[in-house]
Amino acid sequence: MSKVSYTAGSSTMPLLGMTIGEMLNDIAARYPENDAIVSAHQGISLTYHDFLTRVNEIARALMAIGVEKGSRVGIWAMNHAEWILVQFATAKIGAIMVNLNPAYRTYELEYVLKQAEVETIIIQGRFKSSDYIGMFYEACPEVYEQRPGRISIEKFPFLKNVIFTGDIPYNGIYTWQDFLGKSSEISPRELIEREESLTFDDAINIQYTSGTTGFPKGVVLTHHSILNNGYIIGEGMGFSEKDRLCIPVPFYHCFGMVLSNLACVTHGSTMVIPSPAFDPESVLKTVQNERCTALHGVPTMFIAELAHPEFPKYDLSTLRTGIMAGSPCPVEVMKQVNKMMHMDEIVIVYGQTETAPGITMTTTEDPLERRVSTVGRVFPHTEMKIIDPKSGKFLPFGEVGEICARGYMSMKCYYNNPSATHATLDTNRWIHTGDLGILDEEGYFKIVGRLKDMVIRGGENVYPREIEEYLHLHPQIDDVYVIGVPDIKYGEELAAWVKLKEPGSLTETEIKKFCEGKISKYKIPRYFKFVDDFPITVSGKIQKFKMRDQMIKELHLEDADSIVTA
């Protein structure tokens, strides 16, 4: 037998053959008095019995306003209890929940509403400088003159309902209480009949991941893929009904929605929400007050928590496990988390939205060296291989190639995007991740680079092409290329090389102002370099690696570039 880079996760643990709604019904019956949700910033605490009751109420209300199986229901909100309730309510009735990043601005909101053919959108109120209702009206001004439930917009022909998660009345928009009041129009029996009509292979979720062609792609996931991914993650952390997970990672992302929420609910564990958006002291305070046993985060979050001036005063001794994922973790940070935060059993997870998201994971028993130098071994019920990206042939152990994966966790497709689907999901159902990695003879994977032109900034995947497309809209910009450069805090930061039509006609400040309110803050480049030309090959291809090397020298980023990551 040849020693090629192929591995499959064997397990005596069967996959869950049920829908998310069926799983919730079962867990709520087993642990009715256990805490399901504790939202510290909202002062909300729900047992699993109460959680199921609220989920069913929202599910019936959605049915009452015309949400059918397969209808797209968008949610544009920060981490609130209502987000989780909607997550499970849409699953109960077979609607496809569309996750909208709260950092989106009007340009991105309009794209997703149209591309996902959103029929119902649920929106939160203001958060800091973000006025979500105001941005929605900017994108859909016709709604202001219409009545709730009777929306008709030529630009977004699918959109029928808009729901506000608060109780301030807005033109054309249901208040949360008015929306919930609709639940009385649907009987519990009708909800049960809807649930019984669903299968676990039904599409249940669309999550957007930035695309190399300039716009985000909607990854379509099923009950089966995300439910089992969450279940396996929970098993990997040794979760039970006694665990309480502090969740500072965003729900709109697979990390929060699947690795956190579904890992908890599949085990009767408690989802603890410290704040609507990440705040390091809120995390420390909540872990202490709620006696959390687990904590999730990207490396940037753990770094901020460890560096907080009040860190020493908080008692984190109840912690034992959690996940660090989203971007490579500096080795020294992992060591500090183990020692100073008492997280001896913290694990690393690797994957992507297209794989629902986890495909490899370290274990609580792995030695520290393995947890800081690799991303672990393949998940149960998952196949993985390393191939030559040019020939598609298997590579031997230890050789660098493209990571591919397949199994229950594979996405169905990219919504309304067959060409992108075929480029990522091959005829044999292998997901081509675009990541370069190594598989050793003991089955551990290490990520060494990326085929795709992607930047990971603080756990957020950012594709430069999307930003370049937007910057090209500026009348004074002739050409522009965006690259990632190393950064100690975020792992990577964005830098733009800009060629103007008229030299000196535009400043860095003016370009940033052009981006504000139109694209997410984390997509706005931190550094700008105005140039006359770009480094190119003889055949005319842009050499972004040369731009990166030059920026490292000019910005004196050598120290950030030398950080060793897991």
Question: DSSP H helical segments within 411-462, as ranges?
Answer: 418-424
Domain ranges within the chain, ordered by starting residue: 18-29+45-199, 455-561
Structure token pair of residue 296: 């999730």
CATH of the domain spanning 18-29+45-199 = 3.40.50.980
pLDDT for residue 542: 79
What pLDDT does residue 129 have?
87
**Cis status of the peptide bond prior to 357, with omega within 30 of 0:** yes
Residue 448 phi/psi, 5-degree rounding, is: -120, -10
Q: For the domain with range 455-561, which CATH number is right: 3.30.300.30, 1.10.287.110, 1.20.1330.10, 1.10.287.1080?
A: 3.30.300.30
The number of residues in the chain equals: 566
pLDDT score for 331: 74
Question: Helix count (H) and strand count (E) of the chain?
Answer: 19, 26
DSSP letter at 16?
Answer: P
pLDDT value of residue 540: 57
Pairwise CA distance, residues 349 & 327, whole Å: 10
d(CA 423, CA 28): 41
From the first residue on, what is the mean pLDDT of each consecutive set of 10 residues in the chain (566 residues)? Answer: 83 95 98 98 98 98 98 98 98 98 93 97 93 96 95 96 97 98 98 98 93 73 98 97 97 96 98 97 98 94 93 98 83 88 94 96 87 90 95 94 96 96 96 92 86 80 83 91 91 94 94 94 95 75 86 93 73
pLDDT of residue 334: 86
pTM reported for the whole predicted model: 0.86
